[in-house]
């Protein structure tokens, strides 16, 4: 990038570059399972058909389902790290707002905290902390190893190994 004749990298002006990251859309944040009885589940399948092998399940009223692809009445969805095809009849994209997914802190000892860092690196400056077990974190962007999050107004990066999306 050139600014006034000088070459600058995007990271030098504060724009982090992460390859292979997933950006959530309003659909991803707002999509929830609907029309599934409380004693049943929505099957996630290996391909867009009831003949596809069951590769996971979605519980009734589960939210934070991201729709990655569509094929007729079917959608390739992702939820809590699992991916599979579901009939979109059972997915509601209404409600919610914003472009984030709710998440909890997992794998952090009760006497420790999760650090929110200024960049996606374990050696970058700590901007804030999230207590263990907290489910008030918002995930805006998820890369291969780091997620861009906010917690109580503090935006930064946390390691994916400590994030569980709801």
So what's the pLDDT on residue 105? Answer: 95
Q: 14 lies in a domain? A: no
Rounded-to-integer distance, Cα 64 and Cα 54, Å: 20
Whichever domain contains 138, its CATH number is 2.30.30.40
Q: 12 lies in a domain? A: no
pTM (predicted TM-score):
0.44
Number of domains in the chain: 2
Sheet strands (E) in 89-136: 91-92, 101-105, 114-117, 126-130
Rounded-to-integer distance, Cα 87 and Cα 77, Å: 10
- Looking at the fold, whether 82 and 121 belong to one and the same domain comes out as no
- Looking at the fold, whether 87 and 118 belong to one and the same domain comes out as no
Rounded-to-integer distance, Cα 23 and Cα 145, Å: 14
- Looking at the fold, whether 87 and 144 belong to one and the same domain comes out as no
Q: 11 lies in a domain? A: no
Decide which of 44, 60, 92 is a domain's last residue. Answer: 92
- Looking at the fold, whether 63 and 43 belong to one and the same domain comes out as yes
Q: 64 lies in a domain? A: yes
Q: 85 lies in a domain? A: yes
Q: Which residues of the chain have pLDDT under 50?
A: 1-29, 94-98
User: pLDDT digit string (tens) for 101-138?
Assistant: 889 999 999 999 999 999 999 999 999 999 999 998 98
- Looking at the fold, whether 79 and 113 belong to one and the same domain comes out as no
So what's the pLDDT on residue 60? Answer: 83
Rounded-to-integer distance, Cα 30 and Cα 92, Å: 8
Decide which of 40, 74, 92 is a domain's last residue. Answer: 92
Q: 117 lies in a domain? A: yes
Residue given tokens 């780091």 in the structure block = 146
- Looking at the fold, whether 40 and 70 belong to one and the same domain comes out as yes
Decide which of 49, 68, 92 is a domain's last residue. Answer: 92
For residue 13, what is the DSSP state? G
Q: 32 lies in a domain? A: yes
- Per the structure, the complete domain to which residue 150 belongs is given by 101-165
Rounded-to-integer distance, Cα 38 and Cα 58, Å: 11
- Looking at the fold, whether 149 and 122 belong to one and the same domain comes out as yes
- Looking at the fold, whether 77 and 110 belong to one and the same domain comes out as no
Q: 142 lies in a domain? A: yes
């Amino acid at each position: 990038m050139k600014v006034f004749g000088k070459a600058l990298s995007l990271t030098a002006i504060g724009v982090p570059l992460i390859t292979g990251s997933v950006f959530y859309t309003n659909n991803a944040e707002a999509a929830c399972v609907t029309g599934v009885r409380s004693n049943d589940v929505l099957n996630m399948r290996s391909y867009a058909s009831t003949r596809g092998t069951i590769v996971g399940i979605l519980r009734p009223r589960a939210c934070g389902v991201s729709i990655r692809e569509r094929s007729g009445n079917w959608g390739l969805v992702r939820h809590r790290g699992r991916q599979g095809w579901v009939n979109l009849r059972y997915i509601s994209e209404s409600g919610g707002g914003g472009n984030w997914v709710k998440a909890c802190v997992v794998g952090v000892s009760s006497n420790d905290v999760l650090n929110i860092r200024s960049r996606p690196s374990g050696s970058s400056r700590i901007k804030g902390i999230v207590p263990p077990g907290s489910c008030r974190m918002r995930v805006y962007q998820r890369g291969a190893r780091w997620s861009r999050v906010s917690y109580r107004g503090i935006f930064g990066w946390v390691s994916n190994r400590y994030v569980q999306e709801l």
